[in-house]
Amino acid sequence: MQAGGRHGPATRPEAGARLMDPLAAYSPRALAFYDLMFTRFARRHMRALRVPHWGLPPETGDAPLVVYASHPSWWDGVAFMLLSRRLFGERRMFIPMEEAALARYRFMRRIGVFGVEPASARGAVAFLRTAGRVLAPERDDMLWMNAPGRFADPRERPVPIAPGLARLPELAPHATFVPLALEYPFWSERKAEMLAAFGNPLPGAALHAMPREARAEALATALAGTMDCLAGDAVARDPARFHVVEQGGEGMGGIYDLWRRGRAALTGRRFDPRHEWRR
């Protein structure tokens, strides 16, 4: 925990309270370790994490951020880790997760994940209280969350918006809201692509000025537009449209690729493991 600066003074809460308080439990050392683990896991199981050139993070200044994303897959949490660490500098990321699920991944409390009870009024109040602290005006932290509050196919329209997300501009009109589209299509290799795109930022003050129903619609429209643009690039299957954030393995792997590599060496050719290598 950083002592002072924009992240506020260090505190020494009791052990149990520290575990439940995401700001107190946050550990840069734990984050660095699990970033390494998540990166290795993604490289092993995904072909690449790609962001289209138009979909790189927008300039947002030092205001706190709410990155609200589509929720197509279990992989979203891994995408959050990789994108936040590589594209947002030293900003700290905090993520709400259903308490029952977080109980199975207790280590995540050390890397900014906090539990919520989505089906109860008490849980909603607790989420808003924690989110308000993360998004305090004097901080430059980020709140990343899945906008639907549930898994949702990227083709579902209108895009669902959880009530808690629509309430956030009331707590943090000084924050900036950034839509994030995620997809995991298969192209020409055995591993899926991890595609992500950030949309145009929405000022929290402008959202706060809207009635809550109109605010939810504005958030959904911005996210749907970003998702539609990313879908177009996914259908095109053109790697040149994308910036590669992380590169995973390509080809079949194992004994088959070892044999292909040896055969290429014997014939004096450069070995390329990709299925579609003429690009």
What pLDDT, in 10s, does the model give residues 207-263? 999 999 999 999 999 999 999 999 999 999 999 999 999 999 876 555 445 544 556
Label the pairing between strands 46-52 and 192-198: parallel
pLDDT digits (tens, 9 = 90+) for 5-34: 455 444 444 444 444 789 999 999 999 999
**In the block, residue with structure tokens 């980020």:** 142
d(CA 109, CA 227): 29
Give the separation between CA 179 and CA 200, rounded to whole angstroms: 7
**pLDDT computed for residue 249 by the predictor:** 81
pLDDT band (50, 70, 90) for residue 92: very high
Tokens at 246, concatenated: 């992380």
**Structure letter (DSSP) for residue 154:** T
What distance in Å separates the CA atoms of residue 128 and residue 6, rounded to the nearest whole number?
21
pLDDT at 271: 43
Contacts of 110 (CB under 8 A, 6+ apart): 25, 26, 27, 30, 31, 34
pLDDT at res. 46: 96
Mean pLDDT of the chain: 87
Q: 121-134 vs 163-171: helix axis angle to the nearest 10?
A: 40
pLDDT digits (tens, 9 = 90+) for 116-164: 988 788 888 999 999 999 999 999 999 999 999 999 999 999 999 999 9
Residues 223, 198: Cα–Cα separation, whole Å: 9
- In order of 8, 9, 167, 208, the CA distances from 5 in angstroms are 6, 7, 28, 28
Number of other CB atoms surrounding residue 25 within 10 Å: 20
Q: What is the pLDDT of residue 278?
A: 42
Residue 263 to residue 265: CA distance in whole angstroms: 5
Task: State the pairing for strand pair 113-116/142-146.
Answer: unpaired
Asked if residue 79 has pLDDT above 70, the reply is yes
pLDDT value, residue 263: 60
Number of H helices, E strands in the chain: 10, 9
Using the predicted structure, report yes or no on whether residue 50 has a pLDDT greater than 70.
Answer: yes
State residue 265's pLDDT score.
Answer: 60
Give the chain's domains with CATH numbers. Answer: 11-248 (3.40.1130.10), 251-279 (no CATH)
